[in-house]
Structure 1
């Protein structure tokens, strides 16, 4: 295992804890009550266990403790950030940026000063780990990122009679397809997918909805393209 593999594993641990091991209701409770949230302590325990477990090395317990402790402080103080008139709508991005910064510092510090000595030989390369990470980002985390981006720019969903959550499912499927096409080198298929969605989703007299879907589509495709590019760089 090398430093890049350890870093990707810690990103996976963070993503699992922050996006997959908590639902919207528990996340809202944590964001509303801060340190007084009953779920926050369980969330931090999950963060610690995933961080340490996915490091595959005993001495990273100290790094996992630092990550969990700072995660507790950041999440506990996020309630005040949410109440800020100027920064409240960017709370999600600030929160995630701080978590990412901690992971970078802890991982780099551990790898450079203590050395990487896993108890289990990592069979997956950094490239393979990045592929797993990219596909996982394409699911729930991307939906939340898009929602928070639209919220930050104060873009509201226009009136619609579409099926509930249909847009989320379409977004997930299109990101998976785009990422897969990029990894296979079929770049022309990405353009075909954009054209196909445009024909199926838009009507000439539905300008507001068309603009809203276009914004979401561009962000969604952008996420998948960037992920595919990062994967190919490893």
Structure 2
């Protein structure tokens, strides 16, 4: 309980300091001036203050009441945040650097939470939650509905439609829409919210209706319907199989 509580508190502190207490002007200055940006140091100081408050409250309520540990942990957060954000300022500012940046911060917070709490609780949590068989089933399900399903659906469409291809679309837009669509549908199925699947399909139909109505190509309508039905069928099969296996084991 203490590990989970501390980790959530540190993560909330990180989100507040990183996304609510950091104006965009600070980010722009860091990206342009790098280690010479005064706002980078101010941002790191903000993280230090917020983290120190969280760590002090936790340490003197649930920890060993050692101020030195609070100071060490705060300094580690500040130093790691400075190095990670400085490295990010030299990147291409895309989605991948952003995700890697947040992942690096999260790893630091997890390591600090493990150090400040009971190691046994952390390892028990990892074993019970992350390595549990139902968790592995769910992970496999999400992996299956993404790229493997995309390959299967594309092969089926090419076989049925004999190479028919849409024109005037954003490159890879259909693939990205399919990934999001199947990911959302699988989430609804695993939560038992089948109404959400219906809502998602209805929303997609509304957006697609205008395009299909305006199009004079019957092939395009059939192509879209085939793709949607194949996507839904594959996701339903994977989702319902996962729910069955989780209950079985």
Instruction: Give the alignment's TM-score, normalised by structure 2.
Output: 0.47
Greater relative contact order (Cα < 8 A, sep 6+): 1
Which protein has the larger Cα radius of gyration, Structure 1 or Structure 2?
2
Instruction: Give the alignment's TM-score, normalised by structure 1.
Output: 0.49
Q: Which has the higher helix share?
A: 2
